[in-house]
Chain A
Amino acid sequence: MIKGILAFIGLAALWLLMSGLYKTLILIFGVLSILLTLLVLHRMDKVDGHKLGYDIGVFATVKYLIWLMVEIAKSNWAVTKIILSGNMPKKQKMFVVPVTQKSEIAQVVFANSITLTPGTITVESEDDHFIVHALDFGEGDMDALAEMDARVTAIETENAGGNQ
């Protein structure tokens, strides 16, 4: 019930931000559509019942995002140089990267971070390793990915992966 009320408040806030129209008729439509969404959510929860865990700390995640932005800027510059240079110097390679996160959400964050930084793409994800494809594989790439892995593991909370 508490979850439902929280979902109602969240959806209402989102709806008000998106619409920007505050007439009575439009507001009634908004409330009705939110209630319909909650009904569908409730029915789907009965069928699925899979608990989603958010085992990551908020402040740690914000700190990680700032670091990630710097990494994205750096690797964007590297890939831009490859694209614009005459002979396109690159050494493509597919390799395995070990993963140390326990919770699903942190693994998703790590996999998406790898894909988001230009030059590397997560191709396949398993429980304890990802298969990654790199555009220009260099000596320092494994260390850089290991550092990213450690930083994502650091945003997990203490009991991560416990409720899966």
Chain B
Amino acid sequence: MSLDVIMDIVSWIAILAGSAFMLIGAIGTLRFPDFWARVHAVSVTDSAGMLLLTLGMCIQGGFTLVTAKLVIIGVFLFITGPTATHAVANAALVSGFLPKGADKFCSEKKKLSPEVKKTKAKKRAPLKGKL
């Protein structure tokens, strides 16, 4: 077997496995009963699905500009994916949409929110006049 065939097989395994994880993430998002469980299902898509698909496409691309772009896309998604998930979960916490048995975190949040507002206002104030 030549090297090309081996690379093709490896890349197709990665692409198919990545697609499978994407599908599993979608199934989980539909099957899980509530918001907090569904957020977890999405992170399967975010990590394994995304990484395996980019890896497979990188191997298909070889040493070209396409691969360089794919690596950049992969790095960005690796950082922005969990950040977006965190933003969604944090928005749910701040708005008081808590899972069962986690009421103690709600009081902590209410205590904190005026402080957060104050620091944000403080940071924004010096912008005026300098621009």
Contact = CB atoms under 8 A, between A and B. Distances in A.
Contacts of A47: 126-127, 130-131
Nearest to A111: B86
Using C-beta atoms within 8 Å of the partner chain, give the interface range for chain B. 35 or more
B129 to A, nearest CB: 10
A121 B21 contact: no
A73 B17 CA distance: 12
B47 A118 contact: yes
A83 B31 contact: yes
Of B41, B44, B105, the most chain A CB neighbours within 10 A belong to B44
Nearest to A44: B131
A72 B46 CA distance: 11
A88 B99 CA distance: 17
A116 interface: yes
Contacts of B32: 83, 88
Interface of B: 21, 24-25, 27-28, 31-32, 36-37, 39-41, 43-44, 46-48, 51, 65, 68-69, 72, 78-79, 81-83, 85-86, 89-90, 92-93, 98-102, 105, 109, 126-127, 130-131
23 contacts: A17-B69, A17-B72, A18-B69, A18-B72, A46-B130, A72-B48, A76-B21, A79-B41, A79-B43, A79-B44, A83-B25, A83-B44, A92-B36, A111-B86, A116-B43, A118-B44, A118-B47, A121-B39, A121-B43, A122-B86, A123-B86, A123-B93, A133-B89
